[in-house]
Amino acid sequence: MSAADVPLLALGAGVLGAGGGGEPDRVGTILARRLGAGCHPVVALADLDPDATVVPIGIVGATQVLGEKLPAGVEFVETVAAIERWTSDRPDAVMGIEGGGLNGISGVLAAVELGLPYLDLDLMGRAMPRLDQFTWTAAGLPLTPCALAEPGGQVVVVDRVGPVALERTVRSMVSTTGGWAALALRPCRARELRDACITGSLARARRLGRAALAMGTGAPPEDCAATMGGRLLGSGRVTEVAHRPVPGGFGRGSVTVIDNTDGAVLRIESENEYLMVLVDGSVTATCPDIIALLDRHQARPVGVESVRSGIEVSVLVLSAPDWWCRRPDRLARVGPRAFGLDVDPVLIGRRRRPQEIGRAG
């Protein structure tokens, strides 16, 4: 890949962020600068030796702070150095931890900074808020030992904890330091990764980004949805944005959009990402399908943090990474009930209800 691909990737990663995961633009700017006029190799799992060592790298914490507390530029290198010292494993390739939002491309930036090829795999295939929503956790693989490096220079290695305890450690570290940190998870062999990761999120981001760019400005929302391979749920003006703080948890919110063709009332429930769409009171889409609000005029994703009353949006749903939907226990981790929404998952492209899928499988 080259610097010319970065805008496409950033745009597509934003769509896969489902409203969350942080804006990829800043990471994109740094990535484009690092790439300069050169190219960087992106490989598939089949291209690697089964014994090759792969390390998943990304950014955790409050992603908005990234704009205020700029990277020192050595965070990725330092996390990998720390994990290398701890495990004596020298990585041969870098993969992503999260398929959407800024982490959709931060793994690539890490690979560039480390001078290692980027393996187009990640642990989510979209943006999600919690570390227990990694495919490794769902597949029973450990996340530790892992290393964190924050922009102030502090480096922490965490080992021998489960995903819930790791989550607690990571959050307390970033909240008392720079607000965000580079995270390198347990280095593993390439053969371990078969059926334990989401494949091709970067390629998907590229496709989505190309579709969004190709549309240019003022494209009909139906076309926009079709080009992205998703379904248009409605398109119109945002009439209400409500935020409700939840004690001890992420704040909840809802966005109301009145469709400007048939007057349907769309209510989009959100946490860090958009989680569910009700059309005229019927649950029409839920996570883990990717719910995206696209600015009607620029075809750019509108995040949970930046959506405002009065803007014109198209509400799209794109299919969830297939890996999550193949087994009910995986779906339970990322479905609406995992976010406290008491409904069964409603997924596009899946006529059968998830429970029946489980029984059939």
Partner 1 sequence: MSGPAVPLAALLSHPALAGLVVLGDGDSDPTSIGVETVVARSVATASEAAPRALLVLLTPVEATDWKMDAIIRQAHVAGASALVLASTSPLPLSASALARRLALPVYGTDDPFTTGAVARDLILARGSHTAAVINDTVRALRRPAGDVEHLVRSLAAAIAHPIHLVDATGHQFAGTAPAPPIDPAELRRLPIDAGAQVVPLADRLLITVPVPLGEGPGVWLGAEAPGHLPADAAAIGAALEVAVHAVGRQLAVDRLADERDARLRAALLGELADAVGAPPPELRRRAIHAGWSLDGWHIGIRVNPRTAVDTVARRTEVLAALADQGLHCEAVEQADGWAVWTSLDSEPAPTDVDRVAKAIRRAHRALSTTLSASVGVGAAHQGPSGLVRSLAEANDAARLAESRPASGYFVHIDQLGLAQLLLAWTRTDTFQPAARTLLEPLAGQPGDLLRTLTAYLDAESSLVEAAAVLGVHRNTVAGRIARTETLLGVRLDDPETRLALHLACRANTSG
Q: How far is the CB of 258 from partner 1 (least distance, A)?
A: 6
Give, as ranges, the residues between 86 and 115 that touch partner 1 (CB under 8 A).
none
69 and 140 Cβ atoms separated by less than 8 Å: no
Report d(CA 209, CA 16) in Å as an integer.
Answer: 10
Q: How far is the CB of 278 from partner 1 (least distance, A)?
A: 5
Among 280, 196, 293, smallest CA distance to 238 is for 293
Query: What residues are paired with 281 via a beta bridge?
Result: none
Q: How far is the CB of 283 from partner 1 (least distance, A)?
A: 7
Binding segment for partner 1 among 47-55, 140-148, 274-282, 300-308 (CB under 8 A)? 274-282
> With respect to partner 1, which residue has the nearer C-beta, 213 or 265?
265
Q: How far is the CB of 25 from partner 1 (least distance, A)?
A: 30
Binding segment for partner 1 among 84-92, 141-149, 260-268, 285-293 (CB under 8 A)? 260-268
CA-to-CA dists, residue 237 to 232, 243, 258, 295, 302, angstroms: 15, 18, 6, 10, 13
Is residue 260 part of the contact set for partner 1 (CB under 8 A)? no
Place of tokens 């495990």: 87
Give, as ranges, the residues between 200 and 259 that touch partner 1 (CB under 8 A).
239-240, 242, 244, 254, 256, 258
CA-to-CA dists, residue 264 to 99, 234, 257, 267, 274, angstroms: 31, 8, 8, 10, 19
> With respect to partner 1, which residue has the nearer C-beta, 86 or 250?
250
Per-residue contact flags (x/-) with partner 1 for residues 328 to 357, judged by CB under 8 A: -------------xx---------------
Place of tokens 């491309």: 105
Interacting residues of 88 by C-beta distance below 8 A, sequence separation 6+: none
> With respect to partner 1, which residue has the nearer C-beta, 192 or 312?
312
Q: Which of 276, 304, 320, 347 binds partner 1 (CB under 8 A)?
A: 276
Per-position b or e across 68-87, b if 16+ CB within 10 A of its CB: ebebeeebbbbbbbbbbebb
103 and 22 Cβ atoms separated by less than 8 Å: yes
Residue 328: count of CB within 10 angstroms of its CB = 16
24 and 208 Cβ atoms separated by less than 8 Å: no
For residue 66, what is the DSSP state? Answer: G
92 and 54 Cβ atoms separated by less than 8 Å: yes
> With respect to partner 1, which residue has the nearer C-beta, 265 or 348?
265
Q: Which of 195, 280, 322, 356 binds partner 1 (CB under 8 A)?
A: 280
Q: Which of 4, 68, 263, 352 binds partner 1 (CB under 8 A)?
A: 263
Provide the token pair at 275. 């989680």
Q: How far is the CB of 239 from partner 1 (least distance, A)?
A: 6
Q: How far is the CB of 268 from partner 1 (least distance, A)?
A: 9
Is residue 282 part of the contact set for partner 1 (CB under 8 A)? yes
Report d(CA 296, CA 217) in Å as an integer.
Answer: 8
Report d(CA 347, CA 319) in Å as an integer.
Answer: 7
Report d(CA 177, CA 172) in Å as an integer.
Answer: 9
Q: What are phi and psi of 251, to 5 degrees?
A: -65, 145
Q: Which of 98, 269, 271, 273 binds partner 1 (CB under 8 A)?
A: 269
> With respect to partner 1, which residue has the nearer C-beta, 270 or 314?
270
Is residue 308 part of the contact set for partner 1 (CB under 8 A)? no
Q: How far is the CB of 265 from partner 1 (least distance, A)?
A: 4
Q: How far is the CB of 242 from partner 1 (least distance, A)?
A: 6
Binding site for partner 1 (CB under 8 A): 239-240, 242, 244, 254, 256, 258, 263-265, 267, 269, 276, 278, 280-283, 341-342
